A and B are shown apart, each in its own frame.
Chain A
Amino acid sequence: MLFRLAWRNIWRNKRRTLITAASVFFAVFLASSLACIQKGTWDHMLDNVVNYYFGYVQVHADGFWDDRSINNLMTYDPQDFKQHLSDQVSDVVPRLESFALASVGDQTKGVMLVGIDPEKEDALTSISNRLVQGRMIADHGLLVGEGILENLKIKLNDTMILISQGYHGANAANQYPIVGVVHFASPELNKQLVMMPLAQAQDFFGTNNNQLTSLVMNIQAKEAVPEVLTTLESSLAEDPLEVMDWESMMPELTQAKALDTAGANIMLLILYIIISFGIFGTILMMTKDRAYEFGILVSIGMRKGKLMFMLWLEIVMIGLIGALVGIGVSMLLVKYFELNPIKLTGEFASAYEAFGMEPLLPAAFDIPVFLFQALAVLIITTVMATYPAYVLWKLKPVEAMKN
């Protein structure tokens, strides 16, 4: 009956209940929608950067990631390396990467030149799905990012001259036909990445055919990253190799995400402080208006603990009405924007691209985000309910009934 009583009590003052629930609704709706869009945007960006190129875990020669020197290579024996892998790694993708100048006609730009095993690379990054012109490379030619075509004003099947410093100071220069054009979701990669078959890259840079700059672990589930990392680190501890996950390879990305999340959390905090005051206002009125009634209930034998529980139920019910409707509506909105991401245009798009991000704001339909909102409202209402609990604790029935 306490539930029934609490439920009926909250509708004694419909307007007050609806206004309070509406404030919770707007807060939850805004908080969940913004959190889901923020998470979706970051997931998408990380997916672009990490999953589409860097991979979650890489192995390099010690110090390579800091100096990126073609002279700091690792020697790779596929059979030998297998023993270091956990079951979570489905394949190992070899790369030889360095920087080069790409020149066509009188245009020259710096590019990131990567030698790849086309089949393994495709299995890792599904690069063939992102071909917009031409075909995949096999044993000769270049795959270039779509942005490079625009920058150098070239087209498919043109010949590109690449100039770089090879292994141990050797000159590296050659020309190759562009056989395919790839669209990368990350604008940064789109404007910089040039790929060629691994053997061709080893020939270009003058390395041996077992020398690489990096091995990318093809991991099926993102959640397995810690396990793969630990296994590799312990297994390769004696070798002059470094094992890095995506967060240590791109600390700026992690920091940017942390900064952005912190900013959003501050916004959420402010939002929740505002609704806390709204709820508290209702609680104050509710407590003041009903002091007489509380006196009666205690007089006829209702323990204060039970009365506190009933009041808590009322406050939580009001909060949850707003929270559940807010979650429901934001779920619909988030689902819509998950399927139809917001495409930024104009200055916003340029700003995103300048930071190497695709100008898209997809939403992530992330159940924990919604559950967190419900939990937050539950906590806020419970904390707010300490006030009437205090009033009830101090309540003297005779004095309450005098008012």
Chain B
Amino acid sequence: MNVIITKGIEKTYNPKTIPVHALQGVDLTIKKGEFTAIVGPSGSGKTTLLNIIGGLDRPTSGYIEVGGKDISKLSDNQLIDFRRENIGFVFQAYNLIPVLTAKENIEFIMLLQGIPKAQRDKRTLELLHAVGLDDKINKRPIELSGGQQQRVAVARALASKPAFILADEPTANLDSLSTVNLLDIMANLNMQEHITFVFSTHDQRVIDRARRVVTLEDGVISSDVYVDQ
């Protein structure tokens, strides 16, 4: 089952002044349960592609279908709702809400979804357990290490039961041990729960764990390799 389909995606910044062609006709299909790393040098268009797949940015041209829906036709508010219901985000800088505890950060998405409190509480505890942070439930981000914060971010991304998770350089700010822990957690979720992960990364440790590596160069896919683990 295809989770993401892009056809001829182009993205040009500053089209009226000095055009920068960030993506130049990207065709990509991601299937459910994939553990995909999008790699490439800086400026190759990884983040732009991730932003477009995640509905955070719109392509200049091309077709994009996420979860069976053509998201290029959605209004801003519909896109926000779509992201909330279908996509989990993990950012490089964790980006937790600083005034909320670990539990509240995870719960927040479900609150936006209108899920009843009892269900929210149950799922939050399950997710915290899944990322190994049962004992940090009431800690605020500032009281957690970088690795722990990123694990909370993963739990938050999973909270809405999304179709897939987009992770933009998730290990860029982590030490080796935290990186390994995080990758273990994500790989387990992928294997056991069949959650689809798409990363953009420079990190070889992430690339080594990916089962598919898509390489972007100057806005085009230069290679797309499935790796046997």
Contact = CB atoms under 8 A, between A and B. Distances in A.
A293 B105 CA distance: 13
Contacts of A302: 80, 84, 112
Contacts of B77: 303-304
Given A1-B108, A1-B111, A398-B56, A301 B85 contact: yes
A221 to B, nearest CB: 52
Contacts of B81: 301, 303
B51 A398 contact: yes
Nearest to A297: B97
A397 interface: yes
Contacts of A9: 99
A396 B109 CA distance: 20
| Best-buried of B77, B98, B108 by chain A (most CB within 10 Å) | B108
B198 to A, nearest CB: 15
Contacts of A401: 91
Interface in A289-335: 293, 296-304, 306
Given A1-B107, A301-B160, A12 B99 contact: yes
B100 interface: yes
A8 interface: yes
A397 B109 CA distance: 17
B89 interface: yes
Interface of A: 1, 4-5, 8-9, 11-12, 293, 296-304, 306, 396-398, 401
B10 interface: no
Interface centre among A1, A5, A8, A301 (most CB of B within 10 A): A301
Task: Classify the interface of chain B: helix, strand, loop or mixed.
Answer: helix
Interface in B91-144: 91, 95, 97-100, 104, 107-109, 111-113
Nearest to A296: B95
Given A300-B109, A301-B85, A304-B77, 18 more contacts: A5-B99, A8-B99, A8-B100, A11-B99, A293-B95, A293-B97, A296-B91, A297-B97, A299-B89, A300-B83, A300-B84, A301-B80, A301-B83, A301-B84, A301-B113, A303-B112, A398-B51, A398-B57
A396 B51 CA distance: 12
Contacts of A297: 97
A265 B126 CA distance: 59
Contacts of A301: 80-81, 83-85, 109, 112-113, 160
28 contacts: A1-B104, A1-B107, A4-B104, A5-B100, A8-B99, A9-B99, A293-B95, A293-B97, A296-B91, A298-B80, A299-B83, A299-B89, A300-B83, A300-B84, A300-B89, A300-B109, A301-B80, A301-B81, A301-B85, A301-B113, A301-B160, A302-B80, A302-B112, A303-B80, A304-B76, A306-B112, A398-B57, A401-B91
A5 B108 CA distance: 10
A1 B95 CA distance: 18
B151 interface: no
B212 interface: no
